[in-house]
Structure 1
Amino acid sequence: MNNIGLKDFWRQTYKTGSPIPVVISIQVCLFVLIYFLDLLFELKLISQSFLQPIVQQLSLPSNFSSFLAQPWSLISSNFVYVQLLTLIFDSLWLYWVGQIFFTFLNNRQFFFVYIASWLLSSSLYVGFGTLIPPPTSLHLMGGAHPLAAVLAAIVTLVPNYELRLLLFGTVKLKIVAIVYFALEFLFFTLGNRPAAISYFAVVLFGMAFTYALRSGMDWSTLFQKKQKRPAKMKVVVGNNIPTNRKHRYDLPNQDEIDAILDKISVSGYESLTHHEKETLFRASNSGDKVDG
């Protein structure tokens, strides 16, 4: 029974195609590892503490020369946390925002927004930290920046999407996003100004992604695999013709999708009819394998 339970958990968590469980798992495992090594030091089982050296090596430095000495921090910094409450909050927030994102958009678009904003924020952080050196050595860690870009992208798409919060009742997504952005930006401004500049930039990037998407430009197609045309045409005789392939005329057109998104922006997702929800679902899950 336990074996079946673990298999179901693995399948439902990690085999859905969503990158969110993987990101959260890496962040949690790295947090546990860092503090496990620190616990060994506290118990006098090892002679020195590895907490500060590990965190410093894995987090992103604010100047270019230090970055050249630890280029892996461009990747590792997104997964490093030293405060438990921050880790819990960011993990839950990423999960909730991701669920809303996947309601309207697809995995490829999430990957693009998350990874592109991650690289953009890291580049700007190192760049501004080098041009305007802070008075003390600063490091960037955690996934707040790509999380902000994902939230900015989806709140630009459906600003009136309603959330039911325990203490506040029903609140529009745009209100939650504005409060969240303001608090995070204030926090970075007080303690790490290069991080504040890069944070503001990735929020704008997330918004720009959605504006471009609504105008017909999907930047995430950079991550799209090019389909190879078959060298020969295969002729099928008889009734054994596959029916599970999609033709482009079976999919909703862009005007119909834009009209549905406009309705969501004005009246919220709950105002959609069953047919409109089905249309939006088919459009977001159509993938890239469409026959011409």
Structure 2
Amino acid sequence: MKENVLTSFIRDTYKTTSIIPYVITGQVVLFILLHIFDLITFSEKTSVDLYTIFYTESILPVSFREFLSQPWSLLTHPFIYTSLWNLLFDCLWLYWMGQLFLNLLHTRQFNSLFIGGTFVGAILFLILGFIPLLSTQPLYWHTTAFGLAAIISSLVVLVPNYEIRLLLLGNIKLKWIAAVYLGFQFAFLISTNKAAALSYLCIVFGGMLFMHQLQRGKDWSNFFIKKKRKLKVIRNNYENQKLSEQGYPNQQEIDQILDKISLKGYESLTLKEKELLFRASKKEN
């Protein structure tokens, strides 16, 4: 029996440990729901302003006192978008930059960096709200801009000279694309939301530091892995050797490839090294 197209699409899309499809789905679903409430409110089908209630209860307020009355906003704020273009823009950036990251490194590292950037940025935003100069007017935060900043800034450290082909502009190095993207985002925020701008800047440097430490052999995403007892070390070494024999690179080979990328750029890798890096990224998926 031929498989249903929708079933096949759902299986292929969500059969992954990457959070990318889940984040995009959540953003789209809540965007649609928010604007359904807007239509209901506009058509005066109800006296309750569902749009305003749903929106204000889901975004992250800069005031810690307001946050205590809606703590769930720490989880909901990355999925809230009011502009279709803003939603489309962020979803495309998340997909493109996410796929580039996953082609080079592990899903665990991507998930840790994206989630960490999103929520550490939100916490910094709340902390900066205590400074009167930064909260002179009612401010709020939503979207996944912090998480995207962490991913993009980390890729600048990993593969700064990686070229991306842009329509009408040709091949542009990632470092220049990132500089324009991050620069415009920061310039916009500093003029409208200083607490968010400073948080954004911290997350940019945090993403770069994450990748710098990874290149030095310190993987901060290992914090989320349970440490195995020493009794199992021999077994794990044997399994790593077996995986290497089956075509998967061991950790030493991965480190050597990452060092080469750091020194000479992604383009300096041979086809075999690119293949090994690709297999390594899929080994933990």
Match of 1:81 in 2: 81
| Paired residues for 1:13-24 under 5 Å | 13-24=13-24
Residue 45 of structure 1 deviates from its aligned partner by 1.5
- 1:197 maps to a residue whose letter is L
Residue 2 of structure 1 deviates from its aligned partner by 8.7
| Paired residues for 1:218-237 under 5 Å | 218-227=219-228
- SS of the residue corresponding to residue 18 of structure 2 reads coil
Q: Pick which of 50-59 and 222-231 moved more.
A: 222-231
Structure 1: segments with no counterpart, 5+ residues: 235-243
Residue 257 of structure 1 deviates from its aligned partner by 3.5
Match of 2:278 in 1: 281
Match of 1:241 in 2: none
Match of 2:176 in 1: 175
Residue 5 of structure 1 deviates from its aligned partner by 0.7
- SS of the residue corresponding to residue 171 of structure 1 reads strand
Match of 1:189 in 2: 190
- 1:146 maps to a residue whose letter is G
- The answer on whether the counterparts of 1:153 and 1:207 sit within 8 Å (CA) in structure 2 is yes
| Paired residues for 1:16-55 under 5 Å | 16-55=16-55
Say if 1:51 and 1:279 are closer, same or farther in 2 by CA, change over 3 A. Answer: same
Match of 2:163 in 1: 162
Aligned pair partner of 1:272 in 238, 251, 269: 269
Alignment deviations for residues 227-272 of structure 1 (CA, whole Å, 9 cap, x no partner): 47889xx9xxxxxxxxx95427836465643443344356543442
- Please tell me whether Structure 1 or Structure 2 has the larger radius of gyration of its CA atoms: 1
Residue 223 of structure 1 deviates from its aligned partner by 1.5
Paired residues, number: 278
Alignment deviations for residues 33-54 of structure 1 (CA, whole Å, 9 cap, x no partner): 0110110122222223222222
- SS of the residue corresponding to residue 211 of structure 1 reads helix
- SS of the residue corresponding to residue 163 of structure 1 reads strand
CA RMSD across the alignment: 2.6
| Paired residues for 1:190-205 under 5 Å | 190-205=191-206
- SS of the residue corresponding to residue 164 of structure 2 reads strand
Residue 107 of structure 1 deviates from its aligned partner by 1.1
Report the TM-score, using the length of structure 1 for normalisation: 0.87
Runs of 4+ in 1 over 6 A off after TM superposition: 228-231
How many angstroms apart in 1 are the aligned matches of 2:30 and 2:94? 17
Match of 1:261 in 2: 258
Alignment deviations for residues 78-105 of structure 1 (CA, whole Å, 9 cap, x no partner): 1111111111100011000001000111
Report the TM-score, using the length of structure 2 for normalisation: 0.89
Residue 118 of structure 1 deviates from its aligned partner by 1.6
- SS of the residue corresponding to residue 171 of structure 2 reads strand
Residue 222 of structure 1 deviates from its aligned partner by 1.3
Structure 2: segments with no counterpart, 5+ residues: none
- SS of the residue corresponding to residue 218 of structure 2 reads coil
- SS of the residue corresponding to residue 130 of structure 2 reads helix
Q: Pick which of 222-231 and 178-187 moved more.
A: 222-231
- SS of the residue corresponding to residue 164 of structure 1 reads strand
How many angstroms apart in 2 are the aligned matches of 1:91 and 1:287? 24
- The answer on whether the counterparts of 1:60 and 1:139 sit within 8 Å (CA) in structure 2 is yes
- SS of the residue corresponding to residue 285 of structure 1 reads helix
Match of 1:143 in 2: 144
Work out whether 1:105 is the aligned partner of 2:105: yes
Q: Pick which of 48-57 and 178-187 moved more.
A: 48-57
